[in-house]
Chains A and B, each alone.
Chain A
Amino acid sequence: MNATLRHAAWVLRGNPVTLAAGLGVLALALVALLGPSLVAYDPIASNVPQALQPPSAAHWFGTDQLGRDVFSRVVVATRLDLAIAASAVTLSFAVGAVGGAFCGYAGGRLDRWVGRFVDVLMAFPLFVLAMALVAALGNRVENIIYATAIINLPFYVRFARAEVNVRRNQGWVEAARCAGNSHASVVLRFLLPNVLPAMAVQVSLNLGWAILNAAGLSFLGLGVRPPTPEWGILVAEGARFITTGKWWLVVCPGGALMFAVLCFNLLGDGLRDILDPRLRT
């Protein structure tokens, strides 16, 4: 563990962007965890006399058409947005990595069929597919998660399959079979752990994408419904006022969204360097 930390410190020292992104993700996680207790105003209660105030010392991000504090709403929304993204990515990662790894190891007919199915899935415009799924399954948070997970799935299946495919004929896989490991054990105990560092990069990039996706669905009125604070909804509601110069209603939640996506994307690369044991000497 100590060696891992030392190695991480070494990677981060030469890579300040990753460090900044890591700190950003950490901050986001804290905000998500502590969200409601960090803010001074109730994010849902309206206060019409204070409607549409520009940013001030009392209301850092201004107020919206019902007088709600935008800063409180943006902060409280973090938890929901990150939760949706994290659950969706976890789900598609778990299913995709294991399924893809088995396909890559087994090869043959199973691999071909799964490969074609994934190709078909990827041929759809993915966001439209997600919209269709949410519309069909019903307008609920868990359905956003499933839809986001399904449209992310092809990337994980393909990635795991390709990574396992290049390793399946390596000496240590043959050695594992000589040592009496079953095929499941070869995949789960040998191949998957070796593929994970490369996949961690994918996970990090994907988290950013999943946040955008969830926000995008809500923006279109699918999934999370007002008055629940959620970045996509905040942007959608604010968009109505942008022509009248009430910019803070869009820029503030939009900025939060951008910050989150940027942090996860930048973290990706540094993560691979930290997690791969072979890069340690």
Chain B
Amino acid sequence: MSVLLQVDDLRVAFATRHGTVEALRGVSLRLDAGETLGIVGESGSGKSVTALAMMRLLDQAGRITGGSIHFRGQDITRAGRDIMRPLRGAAMSMIFQNPRAALNPIRQVGLQIADVLRAHRPLAAREARDQALELLRAVQIRDPERRLDAYPHELSGGMSQRVMIAMAIACEPSLLIADEPTTGLDVTTQQTVMELLAEITARRGMALALITHDLGLAARYCQRIAVMEQGLLVEEAPPARLFGAPGHAYTRRLVAASPTRHSTVQSLVGAAPLPPPPPRPAGPPLLMVTRLGKSFGPGAPAVDDVSFSLSAGESLGLVGESGSGKSTISRLICRLLDQDAGGIKLDGEEIGLVPAARFHRHAKRRDIQLVFQDAGESLNPRFTAAESIADPLRNLLGLRDRAELRRRAAEFAARCGLEAALLDRFPHQLSGGQRARVGIARAIAAGPRLLVLDEPTAALDVSVQAVVLHLLDQLRRETGLAFLFVSHDLNVVRMMCERTMVLQGGRVVEEGHSAQVFAAPQAPYTAALLAAIPHFEPVA
């Protein structure tokens, strides 16, 4: 096969206010015609910068400081706009992470596809429209004639990504760069989008550079995988070898930290396996939820007749895709939202009758705390870490003494593995993992008995996720906290929870012991969810 793209010792530096930052420090890779290459790594590893450099789309602050990029034998390292413009979209094109943000919100998608076509070929509006329709058929959008005139906000995330793919393949490029094309999509949608992408590239002989943080995804769809860490390409191998016998220490850590169907919370961080927590004495349940219902406006209810119970120290997983009602349930139980129907009993006391607007004064407020999905967004930008952790102590325990508040905040921070030196930093000065620790420290500060975790690791890199999951598991073992663990990641729920409840469209479709649900799912929906998770199987 002929070499399509050749990158040699590529170096990219960004000018920032603190001087120059080297984003790529000598990356070399090769992509043959029709081949699929995976580029994996965590945030900050330089995978997106590599993609943008290949398209020559780096923003003003970024500069190629060394190395070369050859595309179809032509040196494009320093090619000007006149050379790059005919290439972009026609010979090489890109699919972005967030399709909604990448589409123009005030232009019909059919016209946007036609724009790409007409930028490279002399086409009449009518012809361009016909070809756009053809492309929408190719990406298997249902009802393509109608979608042609749809605006991006009328499409779901998966459909928007299909439109992006249609735009990317419109001019039959020989190279397609997909930067996290399915991040943010549900697993089942991810599966259909990826299958579509794989099929289209195979049929049209396009080369695909798939940039992803998901090792399973890369393993399933790529012939070769390159692992990046801090601007360097540390290892490149076919998936079987990479996951079977990872050569580089970083790859080994990354592989270990990625949840698979056999991993445990301990194995993710390389700790010794622990026995499951001892069975607790049977008693009255801590939380009793009966026939909970909630709807937002007309249409299908968000939560429909959901009942479950949770004993002290137990961990229950709530899984489902977007729109399944899992976040709504967590907000209802935390008393941030009022339910339309049903009851919530904590310790035998009916708290579902207390309006959410008045629950902050209730004695049970401190017993239920919430850990948020995006720790960064859940911290007041104007509070330091210490102030955030001390806030519940101040309000719920009535502590006012500054020194005492500070001491307690430091204690909980230490418990969550947050260094004391970081306590005076503001959220934007902390890394994702550190923010997650602040969020957890704040949630446990008031001494709750039930912790509701709403996708606590969804925004984190796998290695950070591994550490945070390990921390949460340890906390539960030590304090006897009960967890209501909401997640879309089935592997994470399997590791963290004794029982699992599967939600679809606001209803419970399956409930049982995690081991059972995952080994032998009863509901077809659960089986479909499980099948859609991309896996990698170590060969060795």
The answer to whether A binds B is yes
Q: Hey, which bits of chain A sit against chain B, CB under 8 A?
A: 10, 170-172, 174-183, 185, 190, 193-194, 277-278, 280-281
Q: Which of B178-186, B190-198, B366-374 contacts A (4 or more CB under 8 A)?
A: B366-374
Question: Once the chains bind, are B379 and A172 in contact (CB under 8 Å)?
Answer: yes
* Further pairs besides A190-B380, A194-B380, A277-B428: 17, Cβ < 8 Å: A171-B373, A171-B378, A171-B379, A172-B377, A172-B380, A174-B370, A175-B370, A175-B372, A176-B380, A177-B359, A178-B334, A178-B369, A180-B360, A180-B396, A182-B361, A280-B428, A281-B428
CB <8 Å contact, B428 and A179: no
Q: Which residues of A contact B377 (CB under 8 A)?
A: 170-172
Give the chain A neighbours of B365 by CB distance below 8 A. 178, 180
Q: How far is the CA of A170 from the CA of B368 in the complex (A)?
A: 19
Q: How far is A175 from B360 in the complex, measured between Cα atoms in Å? A: 11
Would B442 and A175 count as touching, CB distance under 8 A?
yes
Residues from chain A with a CB closer than 8 A to the CB of B379 are 171-172, 175
0/1 interface trace, chain B 338-377, chain A, CB 8 Å (1 if under): 0000000000000000000101110001101110111001
Is B446 located at the chain interface by the 8 A CB criterion?
yes
Task: From known contacts A174-B336, A281-B17, A281-B428, infer whether A180 and B378 are also in contact, taking CB-CB under 8 Å.
Answer: no
Select one of A179, A182, A193 contacting B382, CB under 8 A: A193
- B381–A179 touching, CB < 8 Å: no
* A182 and B370 in contact, given A171-B377, A172-B377, A176-B391 (Cβ under 8 angstroms): no
With A10-B17, A174-B336, A174-B378: A181-B395 Cβ-Cβ less than 8 Å: yes
A to B CB contacts below 8 Å, 30 in the list: A10-B17, A171-B374, A171-B378, A172-B379, A172-B381, A174-B331, A175-B370, A175-B379, A175-B439, A175-B442, A176-B380, A176-B391, A177-B336, A178-B368, A178-B392, A179-B392, A179-B446, A180-B395, A180-B396, A181-B360, A183-B357, A183-B360, A190-B380, A193-B382, A194-B382, A277-B382, A277-B426, A278-B381, A280-B428, A281-B18
Minimal Cβ-Cβ distance residue in A for B387: A189
Which residues of chain B have C-beta atoms less than 8 A from A174's C-beta? 331, 336, 370, 372, 378
Chain A nearest CB: distance from B458 CB in Å?
A: 12
Distance in angstroms between the alpha carbons of A10 and B19 in the assembled complex: 13
Q: Which residues of the other chain, B, contact A176 by a CB distance below 8 angstroms?
A: 380, 391
Expressed in whole angstroms, the minimum distance between the Cβ of A173 and any Cβ of chain B is 9
What residues of chain A lie closer than 8 Å to B16, measured between beta carbons?
281
Chain B 390-418 interface 0/1 with A at a Cβ cutoff of 8 Å (1 = within): 01100110000000000000000000000
B372 touches A171 (CB 8 A): yes
- Give the residue among A171, A182, A183 with the most B Cβ atoms within 10 A: A171
B305 vs chain A, min Cβ distance (A): 25
The proximity string for B residues 6-42 relative to A, scoring 1 for CB distances below 8 Å and 0 otherwise, is 0000000000111000000000000000000000000
User: Complex formed: what's the CA distance from A176 to B394 in Å?
Assistant: 11
Given A171-B372, A172-B377, A177-B336, A182-B360 contact (CB < 8 Å): yes
Min C-beta distance of B404 to chain A, whole Å: 17
Which residues of chain B have C-beta atoms less than 8 A from A178's C-beta? 334, 336, 365, 368-370, 392, 443
Identity of the chain A residue whose Cβ is nearest the Cβ of B380 in the assembled complex: A172
Q: Complex Cα distance A13/B291, Å? A: 62
Interface residues of B (CB under 8 A from A): 16-18, 331, 334, 336, 357, 359-361, 365-366, 368-370, 372-374, 377-382, 391-392, 395-396, 426, 428, 439, 442-443, 446
Chain A: minimal CB distance from B42 (Å) = 20
Report chain B residues within 8 Å CB of A183. 357, 360
- Do A278 and B336 touch (CB < 8 A)? no
Q: A171-B372, A281-B17 are in contact. Are A180 and B392 (CB under 8 A)?
A: yes
Contacts of A179 in B (CB 8 A): 391-392, 395-396, 442, 446
Chain B hits for A10, CB < 8 A: 17
Q: Which of B366, B368, B373, B381 contacts A277 (CB 8 A)?
A: B381
The smallest beta-carbon distance between A240 and chain B, in angstroms, is 53
In the docked arrangement, what's the CA distance between A10 and B17, Å? 9
Which of B368, B378, B396 lies in contact with A172, CB distance below 8 A?
B378
Closest partner residue, chain A, to B391 (CB atom): A179
By a CB distance below 8 angstroms, the chain A residues around B439 are: 175
What is the CA–CA distance of A177 and B443 in the complex, to the nearest angstrom?
A: 12
Asked if A185 contacts B370 (CB within 8 A), the reply is no
Measured between beta carbons, the chain B residues less than 8 angstroms from A185 are 395
User: Which residues of A have CB within 8 Å of B392?
Assistant: 178-180
Q: Taking each of A10, A175, A178, A181, which has the highest tally of chain B beta carbons within 10 Å of its own beta carbon?
A: A178
Whether the pair B360, A278 counts as a contact (CB closer than 8 A) is no
Complex Cα spacing A183 to B396, Å: 14
Which B residue sits closest to A185, measured CB to CB? B395
For the complex, give the distance between the alpha carbons of A173 and B141 in Å. Answer: 39
Q: Which chain A positions have C-beta within 8 A of B443?
A: 178
Beta-carbon nearest neighbor of A173 in chain B: B380
> Using Cβ atoms and an 8 Å threshold, which residues of chain B touch A278?
381, 428
A residues within 8 A CB of B360? 177, 180-183
What's the least CB distance linking B275 to chain A, in Å? 33
Residue of B nearest to A193 (CB): B382
The 5 closest A-B pairs by CB, nearest first: A171-B378, A180-B395, A179-B392, A171-B377, A180-B396
CA distance A216 to B361 in the complex (A): 51
Residues of A with C-beta under 8 A to B366:
180
Residue of A nearest to B368 (CB): A178
- Most B-side CB within 10 Å, residue of A172, A179, A193, A194: A179
